[in-house]
Amino acid sequence: MSRTNPASYSPLHIALHWLIAAAILFQLIFGERIKDLGRALKDGGTPDAITVFMGNAHIWVGIAVLALTIVRLLVRARYGVPAPLPSSRPQELAARAVHGLLYIAMVLVPITGLVAWYGGVHTAGEIHELAKPLFIILTALHVLGALYHQIALRDGGLMRMFSAR
């Protein structure tokens, strides 16, 4: 962890934030398709082209989330992030907790998916299926926090992830 606090998130950190968020959204919307592929392969049938494409897309987009998150954590450790915006101590702790849990999910969700698919570990698949509710709850809290800063506290909190100064 860097000891310096830059004035803003770096352009690379911001780009990675939105790229990863878009990739996760894709995974949540189309996640069911890899289950169709798994079922078709298990039954010994020939899956149709769209199922094969979307199943493989789930794997590669998921691996991209893992790889980009590792890059982002390295960028974060190297260049640091801006100091938290002033708010009450409980609010600051809640924001830290949600950010920490999002990072943990961004690493562990793809790993459990890989273990389930390539290792055939059923329990990993069951844990992986928690990805949808987990990301929905964490992202909802996260977005509410950003909007609270932007609209209620009027401190430009939301804009911190849009422009680097």
Residue 25 in 3-state DSSP? helix
**Orientation angle between helical segments 131-147 and 89-119, nearest 10 degrees:** 150
- Asked whether position 142 contacts ligand HEM by CB under 6 A, the answer is yes
Decide: 161 and 95 in contact? Cβ < 8 Å: no
Among 21, 94, 121, 164, binds ligand HEM (CB under 6 A): 21
**Binding-site size, ligand HEM (CB under 6 A):** 43
52-111 residues near ligand HEM, rule: CB under 6 A: 58-59, 62-63, 65, 76, 81, 85, 99, 102-103, 106, 109-110
Between 46 and 156, name the residue whose CB sits nearer to ligand HEM: 156
- Asked whether position 117 contacts ligand HEM by CB under 6 A, the answer is yes
Cβ density class 87-96: b for 16+ within 10 Å, e for less: beeebeeebe
